[in-house]
Amino acid sequence: MTNEKLGSIEEEAAACRAAFAGVTVGAWVLFCHHNIIVEQLSEPPENRISYILRKKPENERAARLHWFRPLSQTIADDYRAKREPIYDDYRAKCDQLDDDYRAKNKPIYDDYRAKREQLDDDYRAKRDPIDDDYRAKRDPIDDDYRAKREQLDDDLMGRHLPGCPWNGKTLFPEEEA
């Protein structure tokens, strides 16, 4: 970055907004994020300007606003044309590496999954009888509680809330139909 003199935060914000007048999402820009020189806008530029003004450290705001600018169509087209073969080469190398990784990882993962399934089956086989016993003992307790609670609720409704539409489940029984 040059030693270019920065204006105040307010001046840089005004200049930034002026530079982005008419610029839309998808346009190529400089330093939307401080560590990426060129990228496409994924949201309106005002969103980024507002974010910088609200969230970034005060001592960085003027510089961020100063350098955040749209690229001319000519420069953007030239940049894209030069970037495309670099990116294609990168993707080809990554694809090859990714395929090799997946090929090496697959047998390890398959082995893990098979062992995990055996462990899960063993766990379920040991757990299911315990669950069944618990439910067999718990269900009568739950039923007794619900019956006593229902009796208490009915008494409350009859003595203190006559005309209340509560049906034991909702105040809006017509919505259940």
Q: What is the pLDDT of residues 79-90, one digit of tens each?
A: 999 999 999 999
Which amino acid type is present at position 53? L
Task: Extract the tokens encoding 118.
Answer: 């055996």
Residue 30 phi, psi (nearest 5) = -100, 140
Axis crossing angle, helix 9-19 with helix 58-67, rounded to the nearest 10: 30
- For 138-161, the pLDDT digits (tens) are 999 999 999 999 889 888 888 888
| Rounded mean pLDDT, 21-47 | 94
Q: Do 53 and 16 meet the contact criterion of CB atoms below 8 Å apart?
A: no
Each domain of the chain, given as residue ranges in start order, spans 9-71, 85-157
| Rounded mean pLDDT, 3-30 | 94
Question: What's the rounded Cα separation, in Å, for the pair 115 and 120?
Answer: 9
Q: Mean pLDDT across the chain, nearest whole number?
A: 92
- The contacts of residue 168 (CB under 8 Å, 6+ apart) are 150, 153
